[in-house]
């Protein structure tokens, strides 16, 4: 999938030069020639990065950046003939990710754009991984970092095996597990048919997490087959 860049630059020659370069690099570039037009385009389409000139008609680059930062953390790279320290500080202070002064090298600009998108992609994946470290089903919240379980905000103490059994079911809500599979995945050992080990752990886990262990809603028994997570 092509990365998409919103190019906000009022100088047509520069806009065409930058667009041509990044198109060759495999990017999709959408140009806008003033701040107001850029806001309209940004509201309608999705982008991976914004290349932003500061000196724009109708709405200048700084104002555009402030408005964008109220609604999005998209990477923004400022490219401007205003090369003063104050302008750099203002741009970065308002939320720009990088700043390059005109005239610039297309090689350097390309490298900076790729680096900014790479950082943003890595951050996004990291956040997604963080999000998956807390699993929730019904009233249960399983924290994979702290190896803890809460039910309706109240902490429930689990043994390591109980924790991993529950994690197995919550992580794969539609899958049915036999006793042999549970033993293999949680104990990481070969199953020799000792059902009592699984039965005892399942009974203790249900006593801790179910409102009525005799009528379990979180871990259902499929007689003659195994167990699966209840539907919520």
Predicted local distance difference test score (pLDDT) of residue 83: 57
pTM score: 0.55
**Which pLDDT belongs to residue 132?**
56
- Could you give the CA distance from residue 191 to residue 177 in angstroms, rounded to a whole number? 13
User: Which parts of the chain fold into alpha helices (H)?
Assistant: 12-24, 35-44, 61-69, 85-93, 106-131, 160-171, 179-186, 195-209
Residue 183 counted as domain residue = yes
Higher-confidence position of 166 and 80? 166
Structural domain ending residue among the three candidates 71, 92, 124: 124
Same-domain pairing of 97 and 22: yes
Does residue 202 sit in the same domain as residue 118? no
Close Cβ partners of 222 (under 8 Å, ≥ 6 residues apart): 176, 228
Domain that holds residue 73: 4-124
Using 50, 70 and 90 to split pLDDT, how confident is the model at 74? confident
Same domain membership, residue 27 and residue 82: yes
Averaged over 139-145, what is the pLDDT? Answer: 91
Same domain as 203, residue 159:
yes
Whether the CB-CB separation of 168 and 217 falls below 8 Å is answered with no
What CATH number is given to the structural domain containing 99?
A: 3.40.50.2300
64 and 157 together in one domain: no
**Predicted local confidence at residue 87, as pLDDT:** 57
Do 112 and 157 sit in the same domain of this protein?
A: no
Same domain for 11 and 115, yes or no, is yes
User: To 10 degrees, the CA torsion angle through 132, 74, 106, 84?
Assistant: -130
Residue 102 pLDDT: 84
Per-residue pLDDT tens digits for 97-133: 788 888 888 998 999 898 888 877 765 555 555 555 8
Q: Which residues does 109 contact at the CB level (< 8 Å), separation at least 6?
A: 18, 21, 77, 79, 100
Average pLDDT taken over every residue of the chain: 86
pLDDT in tens, 178-210: 998 998 888 877 777 778 888 889 999 999 999
* Domain count along the chain: 2
Please state, in angstroms and rounded to a whole number, the distance separating the CA atoms of residues 218 and 142: 13
Q: How far are the Cα atoms of 105, 120, 169, 232 from residue 212, in angstroms, in the given order?
A: 69, 47, 19, 16
Identify which has the larger pLDDT, 2 or 207. 207
Upstream peptide bond of 218 is cis (omega within 30 degrees of 0): no
DSSP label of 7: E
């Amino acid at each position: 999938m092509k990365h998409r860049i919103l190019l906000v630059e009022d100088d047509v020659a520069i806009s065409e030069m930058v667009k041509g370069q990044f198109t060759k690099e495999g990017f999709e570039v959408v140009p806008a020639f003033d701040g107001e037009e850029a806001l309209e385009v940004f509201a309608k389409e999705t982008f991976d990065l914004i290349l932003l000139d500061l000196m724009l008609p109708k709405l200048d680059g700084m104002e555009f950046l402030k408005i964008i930062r109220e609604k999005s953390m998209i990477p923004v790279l400022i490219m401007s003939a205003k090369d003063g320290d104050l302008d750099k500080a203002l741009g970065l202070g308002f939320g720009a990710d990088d700043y390059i002064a005109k005239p610039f090298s297309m090689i350097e600009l390309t490298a900076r754009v790729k680096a900014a998108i790479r950082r943003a992609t890595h951050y996004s994946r990291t956040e997604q991984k963080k999000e998956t470290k807390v699993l929730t089903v019904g009233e249960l919240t399983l924290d994979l970092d702290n190896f803890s379980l809460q039910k309706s905000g109240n902490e429930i103490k689990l043994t390591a095996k109980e924790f991993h059994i529950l994690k197995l079911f919550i992580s794969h809500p539609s899958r049915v597990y036999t006793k042999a599979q549970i033993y293999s995945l949680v104990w990481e050992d070969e199953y020799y048919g000792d059902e009592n080990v699984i039965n005892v752990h399942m009974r203790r886990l249900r006593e801790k997490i179910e409102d009525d262990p005799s009528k379990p809603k979180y871990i259902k028994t499929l007689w003659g087959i195994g167990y699966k997570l209840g539907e919520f």
